[in-house]
A and B are shown apart, each in its own frame.
Chain A
């Protein structure tokens, strides 16, 4: 998608002066790098540094979650290392709040960077992976990264992949209804992987959100890390880009270097602006990395792949925004914070056996047939 030069601003950044059709890891040097530096200058420096801060914080948290798993304090880890350059800008650009007036977030199980950027304390994520009673998202019932925060319209993350796309149709319908009444309405934002896009629910979202005269404010994003557990993208997908499928439905589509937070920020900002203005869907594919494998099931060890944070740090050091000393301190700060949070959570209570009957029905109305 070609873009044109715009004005330097904060949350409404105008246009990125580069062609945003790149793929992960292919544009880190030479002329392209020079173009990025110009792009850097289009954003407020505070915002740029905030993005780095949140990316490091998110990664430090994920690495703490992995340590928690590896020390036997959790049964399973799945998360987002490698998706920070997409997730953090998304979290910063969300219209955060409760109800259809604000954006809904239908996240997959790699949403930590987005939630960290939205303001989620580290301890909430650690409570989730350690299945504590204090885990507000699930009460100790579900896996890491299966977040739920109604105050921010973060609907429950599920393990079945891609159903979040078709569920977003419903929240978007509620938002469209309000928009048609000239009321404030948000966008239904969906995140998901490239492999899962093979599910029919992905097609459902495109079909339902592009019905003529009833188009929906859905932001379909795909984080293409080129893997579905152990199966690579190229062995299963004949389409050049997942997002190309949107073209058949008249949906605006983009492919973005999701390892570049600046490019991601511009793309997301422009996509959301388009959706808010036109009440129509957008499908954007972000090329990202998967740095610790699919999950703890595949070891949760560092794997090859471009690290978006290292790349961003180098760029900011080269541009004299920060020093290497600053970077080191930043990592130390969040490593300490995550360690302290994990220590605190270790001492917290776990769900009681009796609580399995809580919340089956509203008000914990009896759902146990033995007590009918």
Chain B
């Protein structure tokens, strides 16, 4: 099975060969590296940009204004913050132009902790991203979802932020991407660049096919009746494991992988919370004005009288950064034990 980096790479190949993508660019995105996570190796339209995040975003905007289709990358979301005003402009271009200029661009960036990335390779961007009206925001948790969401993002006529959970880039999937060879070794031999001299290397792309994950649609990854856990990105895997563990203790947790942060699948959340009466929102961005707080607010407003317990948000602590030592990192963002404790606390509440 492909890992997430390979899945994104194949989706981008599909984009440049079938969907008219003209430019895949950013820092070290082109040859020889093909991206710091190898997600852009071997792509014919991939090229290296100057080390200039504002230049990357504004060039993407210009390409969008010209009607070309691009996928740009900010190497780590920790370095996207000096582009905030440009992101706002990309998001408001259609609105400010009274519907005359759309902005068909995709901007991808790795997010989150989990790779011992220290202060400036561990930031999250999901809460910031959801404060950029006009953008759609997605974050996959599996290679297949990464493939389908990237194809949907490329096809979308609006700007789409594709948040890559960096800790999952090497995690293999459990479902084949359409056209993906059955053997992992075969896929690796076809599309992974060799170590050393790559000057003569060319990928042999599998005949990957059309597959979309509609933006705005979540997925129930564990069905349950006692509590709803809404999450995305790498925390889907953690929440799934906790749900599996708690099942043996008699707690039936339903896990929702949101996949799209904006627009989000409210009907899926609503129906699940109506069923369980209890809800926990889990993500690793800092906890003050966290996106989960918006969702908790909405649950409170619309489902208050159907709740059996107070909605709760489990997020990263409100710290200036993620410290490098494992003790520091693990104390900063939610892990399995934190999720389990939070679920048990919500379950313990008596209406």
B 214-255 binary contact with A (CB < 8 Å = 1; else 0): 001000000000000000000000000000000000000000
A267→B184 CA distance, assembly (Å): 61
Q: Is there a chain B Cβ closer than 8 Å to A170's Cβ?
A: yes
Q: Is there a chain B Cβ closer than 8 Å to A148's Cβ?
A: yes
- The answer to whether A156 and B93 touch across the interface, beta carbons within 8 angstroms, is yes
A 189-232 binary contact with B (CB < 8 Å = 1; else 0): 00000000000110010011001000000000000000000000
- Kindly provide the distance from the CB of A56 to the nearest chain B CB, expressed in whole angstroms: 29
- Given A170-B65, A372-B267, are A208 and B59 neighbors across the interface (CB < 8 Å)? yes
Contacts of A364 in B (CB 8 A): 99
- The answer to whether B62 and A170 touch across the interface, beta carbons within 8 angstroms, is yes
B 286-320 binary contact with A (CB < 8 Å = 1; else 0): 00000000100010000000000000000000000
- The answer to whether B62 and A135 touch across the interface, beta carbons within 8 angstroms, is no
Q: Is there a chain A Cβ closer than 8 Å to B54's Cβ?
A: yes
- The answer to whether B63 and A156 touch across the interface, beta carbons within 8 angstroms, is no
Contacts of A146 in B (CB 8 A): 96
A139→B100 CA distance, assembly (Å): 10
Contacts of B63 in A (CB 8 A): 170-171, 173-174
Residue among B89, B95, B96, B266 making CB contact with A163, cutoff 8 Å: B89
B 62-99 binary contact with A (CB < 8 Å = 1; else 0): 11111110100000000000000110010001111111
Residue of B nearest to A177 (CB): B22
- The answer to whether B59 and A158 touch across the interface, beta carbons within 8 angstroms, is no
- Kindly provide the distance from the CB of B92 to the nearest chain A CB, expressed in whole angstroms: 9
Query: A42-50, A277-285, A302-310, A353-361: which lies at the B interface?
Result: A353-361
Q: Is there a chain A Cβ closer than 8 Å to B61's Cβ?
A: yes
A193→B231 CA distance, assembly (Å): 47
- Given A208-B59, A359-B95, are A170 and B134 neighbors across the interface (CB < 8 Å)? no
Q: Is there a chain B Cβ closer than 8 Å to A296's Cβ?
A: no
- Kindly provide the distance from the CB of A20 to the nearest chain B CB, expressed in whole angstroms: 30
Contacts of B62 in A (CB 8 A): 166-174, 188
- Kindly provide the distance from the CB of A348 to the nearest chain B CB, expressed in whole angstroms: 15
Residue of B nearest to A136 (CB): B98
- Kindly provide the distance from the CB of B105 to the nearest chain A CB, expressed in whole angstroms: 9
For chain A, the bracket of interface size reads 35 or more
A142→B101 CA distance, assembly (Å): 15
- Given A104-B66, A142-B96, A174-B67, are A366 and B101 neighbors across the interface (CB < 8 Å)? no
Q: Is there a chain A Cβ closer than 8 Å to B279's Cβ?
A: no
Residue among A167, A207, A362 making CB contact with B65, cutoff 8 Å: A167
Residue among B23, B95, B99, B263 making CB contact with A369, cutoff 8 Å: B263
- The answer to whether A166 and B54 touch across the interface, beta carbons within 8 angstroms, is yes
- Kindly provide the distance from the CB of A333 to the nearest chain B CB, expressed in whole angstroms: 30
Contacts of A177 in B (CB 8 A): 22, 68
Q: Is there a chain B Cβ closer than 8 Å to A155's Cβ?
A: yes
A170→B64 CA distance, assembly (Å): 8
- The answer to whether A361 and B94 touch across the interface, beta carbons within 8 angstroms, is yes
A365→B158 CA distance, assembly (Å): 10
- The answer to whether B264 and A137 touch across the interface, beta carbons within 8 angstroms, is no
- Kindly provide the distance from the CB of B158 to the nearest chain A CB, expressed in whole angstroms: 5
Q: Is there a chain A Cβ closer than 8 Å to B133's Cβ?
A: yes
A131→B20 CA distance, assembly (Å): 37
Residue among B67, B102, B216 making CB contact with A362, cutoff 8 Å: B102
- The answer to whether A170 and B98 touch across the interface, beta carbons within 8 angstroms, is no
Contacts of B94 in A (CB 8 A): 359-362
Contacts of B23 in A (CB 8 A): 173
- The answer to whether A171 and B96 touch across the interface, beta carbons within 8 angstroms, is no
- The answer to whether B67 and A204 touch across the interface, beta carbons within 8 angstroms, is no
Contacts of B98 in A (CB 8 A): 135-139, 141, 148, 359
- Kindly provide the distance from the CB of A174 to the nearest chain B CB, expressed in whole angstroms: 3
List 28 contacting pairs A-B, 8 Å CB cutoff, sorted by A: A100-B66, A104-B65, A139-B98, A141-B95, A141-B98, A148-B101, A156-B101, A163-B85, A166-B58, A171-B62, A171-B65, A173-B59, A173-B62, A173-B66, A174-B63, A174-B67, A201-B55, A204-B50, A204-B55, A208-B50, A208-B52, A359-B97, A359-B99, A362-B102, A365-B158, A366-B263, A369-B298, A372-B266
Q: Is there a chain A Cβ closer than 8 Å to B265's Cβ?
A: yes
- Kindly provide the distance from the CB of A128 to the nearest chain B CB, expressed in whole angstroms: 10
- The answer to whether A208 and B55 touch across the interface, beta carbons within 8 angstroms, is yes
- Kindly provide the distance from the CB of B83 to the nearest chain A CB, expressed in whole angstroms: 10
Contacts of B61 in A (CB 8 A): 167, 170
Contacts of B67 in A (CB 8 A): 99-100, 174
- The answer to whether A160 and B65 touch across the interface, beta carbons within 8 angstroms, is no
- The answer to whether A141 and B59 touch across the interface, beta carbons within 8 angstroms, is no
Q: Is there a chain A Cβ closer than 8 Å to B21's Cβ?
A: no
- Kindly provide the distance from the CB of B18 to the nearest chain A CB, expressed in whole angstroms: 19
- Kindly provide the distance from the CB of B273 to the nearest chain A CB, expressed in whole angstroms: 14
- The answer to whether B65 and A360 touch across the interface, beta carbons within 8 angstroms, is no
- Given A156-B93, A163-B89, are A150 and B100 neighbors across the interface (CB < 8 Å)? yes
Q: Is there a chain B Cβ closer than 8 Å to A367's Cβ?
A: yes
- The answer to whether A158 and B89 touch across the interface, beta carbons within 8 angstroms, is yes
- The answer to whether B55 and A169 touch across the interface, beta carbons within 8 angstroms, is yes
Q: Is there a chain B Cβ closer than 8 Å to A175's Cβ?
A: yes
Residue of B nearest to A140 (CB): B98
B65, B136, B267: most-surrounded residue (chain A CB, <10 A): B65
B 28-71 binary contact with A (CB < 8 Å = 1; else 0): 00000000000000000000011010110011111111111010
Q: Is there a chain A Cβ closer than 8 Å to B157's Cβ?
A: yes
A6→B52 CA distance, assembly (Å): 42
Residue of B nearest to A355 (CB): B98
A 338-372 binary contact with B (CB < 8 Å = 1; else 0): 00000000000000000000111110111101001
Contacts of A366 in B (CB 8 A): 263
CB under 8 Å from chain A, chain B span 10-27: 22-23
Extra contacts, 15 of them, besides A99-B67, A369-B266 (Cβ < 8 A), are A148-B97, A163-B86, A167-B62, A170-B59, A173-B63, A174-B63, A201-B55, A201-B58, A208-B59, A360-B95, A361-B134, A369-B263, A369-B264, A372-B265, A372-B267
A104→B98 CA distance, assembly (Å): 19
For the complex of A and B, 4 pairs with smallest distance between CB atoms: A170-B62, A139-B98, A174-B66, A166-B58
- The answer to whether A201 and B54 touch across the interface, beta carbons within 8 angstroms, is yes
- Kindly provide the distance from the CB of A359 to the nearest chain B CB, expressed in whole angstroms: 4
